[in-house]
């Protein structure tokens, strides 16, 4: 750590630790994965006849070559799923911006706790979304063919895991670790 003395006051300048840099990368990856999950057309797929996203449900009758789609925003659980995922993504975006600002200014430590709290809140919101979605899907939508949760759902889990990793890294006590760098 570098310090300079002006009069009787000591100003401490903290170095960016590799832990916080990795945490920032985790937050960025979580944000990218969330964007992919929200835009994904495939949260659930069934053979080549059905796919469900957060925005629409599409199916193709066996005798037709065209897909028929309808909005999924008509049921409460699908709206709640989308709201929870978007709420978590917003918190991840906000924590990324705060973490990015903390890299650019000299007094970083005061930003570590708010970033960690926002990330933990995002993890809770997104975990609720990711538990609610398959439970309500299986309860309300009965497909007579084999179906699976697809890559859009997996991207959302990836975002949640990276958010949790970033939150853990921002929770580590900077006073103990920054002295070594």
Residue at token pair 């895991």: 161
- Give the C-alpha separation, 117 to 66, whole Å: 47
- Give the C-alpha separation, 97 to 21, whole Å: 14
- Give the C-alpha separation, 136 to 160, whole Å: 20
Q: Full-prediction pTM beyond 0.85? A: no
pLDDT one-digit tens code per residue, 156-177? 999 999 999 999 998 886 565 5
Cβ count near 105 (within 10 Å): 9
Map out the domains of the chain as residue ranges: 18-42+75-180
Q: Do strands 44-46 and 148-149 pair parallel, antiparallel, or not at all (unpaired)?
A: antiparallel
Please say if the pLDDT value at position 6 is more than 90. Answer: no
pLDDT one-digit tens code per residue, 30-74? 999 999 999 998 888 887 778 888 888 888 877 777 888 888 888
Give the mean model confidence (pLDDT) for residues 133-152. Answer: 81
CA-wise closest residue to 129 among 43, 51, 63:
43
Q: What is the pLDDT of residue 126?
A: 96
How is domain 18-42+75-180 classified at the architecture level of CATH?
Up-down Bundle (1.20)
pLDDT: which is higher, 140 or 28: 28
């Amino acid at each position: 750590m570098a310090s300079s003395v002006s009069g009787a006051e000591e100003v401490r300048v903290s170095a960016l630790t590799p832990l916080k840099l990795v945490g920032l990368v985790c937050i960025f990856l979580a944000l990218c994965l969330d964007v992919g999950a929200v835009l994904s057309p495939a949260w659930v797929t069934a053979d080549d006849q059905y796919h469900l996203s957060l925005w629409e449900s599409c199916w193709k009758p066996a005798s037709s070559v065209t897909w028929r789609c309808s909005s999924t925003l008509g049921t409460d659980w699908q709206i709640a799923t989308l709201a929870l995922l978007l709420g978590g993504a917003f918190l991840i975006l906000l924590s990324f911006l705060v973490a990015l600002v903390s890299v650019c200014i000299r007094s970083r430590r005061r930003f570590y706790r708010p970033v960690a709290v926002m990330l933990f809140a995002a993890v809770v919101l997104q975990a609720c979304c990711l538990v609610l979605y398959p439970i309500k899907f299986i309860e309300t939508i009965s497909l007579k063919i084999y179906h699976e949760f697809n890559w859009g759902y997996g991207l959302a889990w990836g975002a949640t895991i990276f958010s949790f990793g970033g939150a853990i890294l921002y929770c580590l006590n900077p006073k103990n670790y920054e002295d070594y760098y």
